[in-house]
A = this chain, B = another copy of it.
Amino acid sequence: MSVTMADVAKEAGVDKATVSRVLKGDPRISPKTREKVWEVIKRLGYKPNALARGLSARKSGLVYIVFEEQDLPQMNRFLRGVGRILAAMDKEPIVYVADYFDADFIRSRSMAHKVEGIIWVGSPPSDMDVPMVAVGDVTNRYVYVSPFWSDIAKEIKKIANGRKIVFVGDTKANSMLKRELAECGTDGENTLWICDGSLPGGIKRLIHPVDQKFLDIVNSDGEFTMGDLLLLFNDINYAKALGGGCIYLPSLEMGVLAARLLVNMLKNREVPQKNLVRLTIEF
């Protein structure tokens, strides 16, 4: 059995309540008592029991991070960002990844665990009543963090300068960019949209057997040539190998931002509902 507050109190010759106050930094405790209590705490290696604390305070200190996307290559970065903030606030991130849960599962468990808030990467169900930050989608029900697609669309249009565009990304990136490119007047017909999930063979750069020119083949249902603008989503090595550009999602920053927003909501501070992050493009 580990050291409890009662053990510390007895050893220090004070009441449990006093130990609790010392721990919270209550200013009404005499310096002498405070010092004594801290000494005992350290000597005994006492760690407050988070469960008991949660039960008493009606706060678990737990935050859910839900990943709905099947494949998010930048998950580590996002989690690093989230973790930095949460760790500083003494909150614990509980991570759920798509495919072994549904919305009801999350709802049920989050209630059982008295979760304080949820960061939901994807499209959260609209009837959750815990503090929620949605990441990736634009929604008017929750505070959200989303890439600034229209901004990058304009930049792409400028770079393409009339050339055919070949874009390889996930389902969401493709559809968002498609919409925004149309919005700023780029002909969708002139663009080839490829879902990297549907690329079992990948893109290969081959040399033509007859005229010795480069030929890029895309999974046998599309074809493009060296003159086209090839853009890949979030995969810099692959992009460089193919001589294309990389649209880069600032995942770590998004994690930091999402966690900050949530923490502020938990403190009952006002937070902006719309939060757009800038995408960058790199060749």
Contact = CB atoms under 8 A, between A and B. Distances in A.
Given A49-B112, A76-B97, A202 B92 contact: no
Contact of A76 (B2, B71, B100, B101): B71
A13 interface: no
A7 interface: no
Q: Please report whether the interface of chain A is mostly helix, strand, loop or mixed according to DSSP.
A: mixed
Interface in A19-78: 47-52, 54-55, 60, 62, 65, 67, 70-73, 75-76
Contacts of A67: 76
Given A201-B240, A203-B240, A241-B242, A83 B60 contact: no
Contacts of A203: 237, 240-241
Contact of A47 (B83, B92, B111, B239): B111
9 contacts: A47-B112, A48-B112, A49-B114, A51-B55, A76-B97, A92-B94, A203-B240, A204-B241, A237-B238
Interface of A: 2, 47-52, 54-55, 60, 62, 65, 67, 70-73, 75-76, 79-80, 83-84, 87, 92-101, 105, 108-109, 111-114, 196, 199, 201-205, 207, 212, 214, 235-243
Given A49-B55, A241-B241, 8 more contacts: A2-B111, A62-B92, A65-B95, A73-B73, A83-B97, A93-B96, A199-B237, A202-B239
